[in-house]
């Protein structure tokens, strides 16, 4: 039997599937549908340490986590020790299951402050700051990072070992460099090398381009990771988690979600978004989700373009009902071609 994967005292069961932190995506409404889809551990969007210390509303709101989402990780980013220490204190007050440090974000205005993957240009500083944060954190401290800054500095095998030695409890590795941003295909070779390092004993989660059960099974086998972190493939398709689990357990492919299931998830996501963000932002942030929720629906383009233009919650609800009436047959089955 596959042993459980533990991050400190947190038992995630065998081969956990993690929902990746995603700015403007992995908020409580989205996490609710992913939890139902089978995610074993979820993270908040990244939160600015400086914002937290300043008590900025946007940062503080991202700290909201709920008991039915657990286990939950709260992710922070920053480039300087003092605000990061302050942020760890603030995060600890809301009692997450773990605190995660973002050393992977490639975005310019994060990197230019030495935060996110910017820290990969100065590994001694990264390690020194992390060591202090491990000491300060009352919860397991984990790291999410990339292979390195660029092709010439893919130091992840060294870095993973150094992080383990200072007490980091788990590492999630995205198989790209900062310079790659999101381009090309994620390269998991070095993630496999981190796992193959005999000295490593903390959980290593592989991340990057997992978008199907068969790829999940192949990468698990090939790179020996302790679990997978999934981001974009869960957007509008929270069933990815249960599909991967089922495939890993049985070798069989689950039937895709029915029209009714897709609509139910989309409606729940929408209603939670409207409550969570208010009507304007709630509708705006739902827009990226409709295409994947209704992927494979024949002739959906017209309704979808109305969905992404509407600023009226009732109109969006009516459009979802229209999808329901057009794409659900008399027996409730799906009439879609994927």
Q: Which is closer to ligand FMN, CB of 71 or CB of 263? A: 71
Handedness of CA 196, 197, 200, 204 (dihedral sign): negative
Q: Which residue is nearest to ligand FMN (CB)?
A: 231
Q: Which is nearer to ligand FMN, 126 or 323 (CB)?
A: 126
Q: Which is nearer to ligand FMN, 125 or 232 (CB)?
A: 232
Which residue bears the tokens 């963000």? 277
Q: How far is the CB of 148 from ligand FMN (least distance, A)?
A: 15
Footprint of ligand FMN (CB under 6 A):
20-23, 25, 45-46, 75, 102, 104-105, 144, 174, 207-210, 230-233
Task: Respond yes or no: is residue 105 known to be catalytic.
Answer: yes
To ligand FMN, the closest distance from the beta carbon of 172 in angstroms equals 8
CB of 209 to ligand FMN, least distance (A): 5
| CA 28 centroid distance within chain | 12
Query: With contact defined as beta carbons under 8 Å apart, do 57 and 281 qualify?
Result: no
Q: Which of 6, 105, 112, 266 is catalytic?
A: 105
Please state, in angstroms and rounded to a whole number, the distance separating the CA atoms of residues 19 and 305: 28
Cβ of residue 259: shortest distance to ligand FMN, in angstroms? Answer: 26
Catalytic residues: 105
């Amino acid at each position: 039997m596959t042993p459980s994967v533990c991050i400190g005292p947190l038992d995630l069961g065998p081969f956990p599937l993690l929902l990746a932190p995603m700015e403007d995506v992995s908020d409580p409404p989205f996490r609710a549908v992913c939890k139902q889809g089978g995610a074993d551990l979820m993270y908040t969007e990244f939160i600015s340490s400086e914002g937290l210390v300043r008590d900025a509303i946007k940062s503080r709101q991202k700290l909201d986590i709920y008991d039915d989402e657990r286990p939950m990780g709260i992710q922070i980013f920053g480039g300087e020790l003092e605000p990061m220490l302050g942020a760890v204190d603030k995060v600890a007050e809301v009692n997450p299951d773990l605190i995660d440090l973002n050393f992977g974000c490639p975005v310019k205005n994060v990197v230019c402050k030495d935060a996110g993957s910017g820290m990969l240009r100065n590994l001694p500083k990264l390690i020194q700051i992390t060591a202090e944060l491990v000491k300060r954190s009352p919860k397991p401290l984990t790291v999410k990072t990339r292979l390195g800054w660029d092709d010439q500095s893919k130091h992840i095998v060294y870095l993973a070992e150094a992080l383990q030695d200072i007490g980091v409890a788990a590492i999630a590795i995205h198989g790209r460099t900062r310079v790659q941003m999101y381009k090309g295909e994620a390269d998991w070779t070095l993630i496999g090398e981190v796992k193959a390092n005999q000295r490593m004993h903390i959980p290593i989660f592989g991340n990057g381009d997992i978008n199907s059960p068969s790829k999940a099974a192949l990468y698990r086998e090939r790179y020996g990771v302790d679990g997978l972190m999934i981001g974009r493939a869960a957007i509008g398709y929270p069933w990815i988690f249960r599909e991967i689990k089922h495939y890993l357990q049985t070798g069989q492919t689950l039937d895709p979600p029915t029209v009714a299931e897709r609509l139910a998830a989309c409606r729940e996501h929408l209603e939670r978004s409207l409550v969570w963000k208010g009507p304007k932002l709630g509708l705006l942030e739902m827009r990226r989700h409709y295409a994947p929720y209704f992927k494979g629906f024949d002739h959906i383009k017209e309704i979808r373009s109305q969905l992404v233009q509407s600023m009226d919650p009732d109109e969006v609800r009516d459009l979802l009902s229209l999808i329901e009436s057009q794409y659900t047959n008399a027996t409730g089955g799906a009439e879609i071609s994927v």
